[in-house]
Amino acid sequence: MRRILLESMAALLIAVVILAALARPSPAATPDVISEWGVAAANAAAASGMAPFRTPMTLALLHLGMYDAVTAIRGDREPYAVNPPVAHPASAQAAAIEAGYRVLVAEFPTQGVALEAVYQTLLAIEPDSLSKRNGLAVGAAAVQQLLALRAHDGRDAVVDYTPGSGPGVWVPTPPAFLPATTAFLAKVTPFTMKSASQFRPAGPPALASRRWVDDYDEVKMLGASVGSTRTSEQTATAHFWEPLAGTVWPASIRRLAREQGLDLASSAHFQAAAFAAFADGLIACWDAKFHFNFWRPVTAIQHGATDDNDLAASDPAWQPLAPTPNFPEYPSGHACATAAVAHTIESYFPHEVLIPVRNILSGEERFRKAKEVVSEVIEARMLLGLHFRSADEDGAGIGRNIAGQIQSLWFQRKSF
């Protein structure tokens, strides 16, 4: 009887130990403060009404600030822009929390209450200590310096744009014929490029060229809203990639950081690289857009008789599958940004990952390799009737160059 009692007690003790272990938060359950601030930034942008093409500039600032704060304490990588002094011991997590808070309060001054709530929640993760206080000081200093460096970078500039006229030149497009927006992006100081024009492509095909006719005929047949020769699969791919790149990549980047189990420093590094690539992809693309000022398919096809190329037959009734954005066509912004992010992801992970992408309208998810993502976007933006293939391919080339330069020149590990 005594042996049975002892065995029962031992079994009960083991069960209690197991249940306690299951209930105890695991290290992986600790919030990734890098991603938490990314979510807070998205919420603040939505609540404040920040323009979709302005938000990526904030996200780049946010993640570069947190990266420099964490890196200053760890000392194992080259800083992005600033290297504040550190009093040890210092908590890298506290530095990231403070840096994220300071960037977002500066970028969203009307969202102070919501941001303060997030800040206090994140501060509670770590008990008060000298290390925590020193880390907070590093985060504050890093952001103060970074924001001073970017104080006049053009991200809030008002840039006037007057469209031209004639064959090949962008003009306001149907149905609303709105004036061009987002011209400011072409003037923003890049985050990792030497200049916005560093990777500027050669330009769209000449209207007298065979390539122009091929591009023209392809989008005319495959990108039309009515009478297209698209397959059902092509139409599904087109609609999947119809929402703006900004609705796809921030969530995908954060999701990868979480699902790949990145620690604080790795998450800070990865997301800084990815969001810098995203922002520079847009800046480089918009530099080219407003340099070449090329017309959209809806304008070109409806007025094909004006391009002096008899092989490009016009169709005054032609309409694209998706509404045309109100800014110049060449190159494709989605292709630029997508290729920059996808190839940065590809270069970061030592093993090939399937990138999770989600359409916010339908909820559909796809999991693709980097090259597959870029290939789908090149096709999709043409299939939507928004871009000629040259614009998609050249946009992807810009993004690929940005990602390659980030990999080779930025965020490098120090050699000791």
156-162-167 Cα angle (round to 5): 135
Please tell me the class of the 183-409 domain: mainly alpha
Q: Residues 13-35: pLDDT tens digits?
A: 333 222 233 333 333 457 899 99
Tokens of 188: 């923003």
Instruction: List, in sequence order, every residue forming a beta bridge with 368; answer none if it has no partner.
Output: 355
Helix H or strand E encompassing 355: strand 355-358
Specify the amino acid at residue 54.
Answer: R
Burial degree of 410 (CB within 10 A; 0-12, 13-18, 19+):
middle
Distance of CA 50 to the CA centre of its chain: 15
Q: 315 with 301: CB under 8 angstroms? A: yes
Phi and psi for 143 in degrees, rounded to 5? -70, -40
Q: Which 3 state secondary structure label does DSSP give 283? A: helix
> Which residue stretches of 50-191 are H helix?
55-74, 92-107, 112-123, 130-149
Comparing CA positions, the residue from 170, 203, 195 lying closest to residue 284 is 195
Sequential DSSP letters for 41-69: HHHHHHHHT--TTTHHHHHHHHHHHHHHH
With b for 16 or more beta-carbon neighbours within 10 A and e for fewer, the 194-223 pattern comes to eebebbbbeebbebeeeebbebbeebbebb
Confidence at residue 12, expressed as pLDDT on a 0 to 100 scale: 33
Any residues with CB less than 8 A from the CB of 112 and at least 6 apart, and which?
Answer: 105
Tokens representing 204? 């769209």
* Closest to 377 in 3D by CA, of 359, 360, 362, 361: 359
Distance CA 300, CA 309 (A): 11
Measure the CA angle with vertex 105, ends 100 and 111; round to 5°: 120
Contact (Cβ atoms closer than 8 angstroms) between residue 229 and residue 219: no
DSSP H or E segment with residue 276? helix 264-292
Where in the chain do CATH 1.10.606.20 domains reside?
183-409
Structural contact between residues 335 and 391, judged by C-beta atoms closer than 8 angstroms: yes
CA distance 196 to 80: 18
Give the per-residue pLDDT at 310. 86
| 257/379 Cα distance (integer angstroms) | 28
Among residues 286, 280, 281, 408, the alpha carbon closest in space to that of 348 is found at: 408
User: 389-409 and 264-292 helices cross at what angle (nearest 10)?
Assistant: 140
pTM equals 0.92
Six-digit token string for 344: 């940065």
Amino acid identity for residue 40 in this structure: A
Per-block mean pLDDT, blocks of 10 residues, the chain (416 long): 33 31 41 96 98 98 98 98 98 98 98 98 97 98 98 96 93 94 97 98 96 97 97 98 97 97 97 98 98 98 90 94 97 98 96 96 97 98 98 98 98 88
* CA separation, residue 252 to residues 190, 295, 326, 376 (Å): 23, 31, 26, 16
294 is written with which tokens?
């090329």
Positive/negative CA dihedral, 228, 247, 289, 174: positive
Residue type present at position 62: L
Judge contact between 227 and 321, C-beta under 8 A.
Answer: no
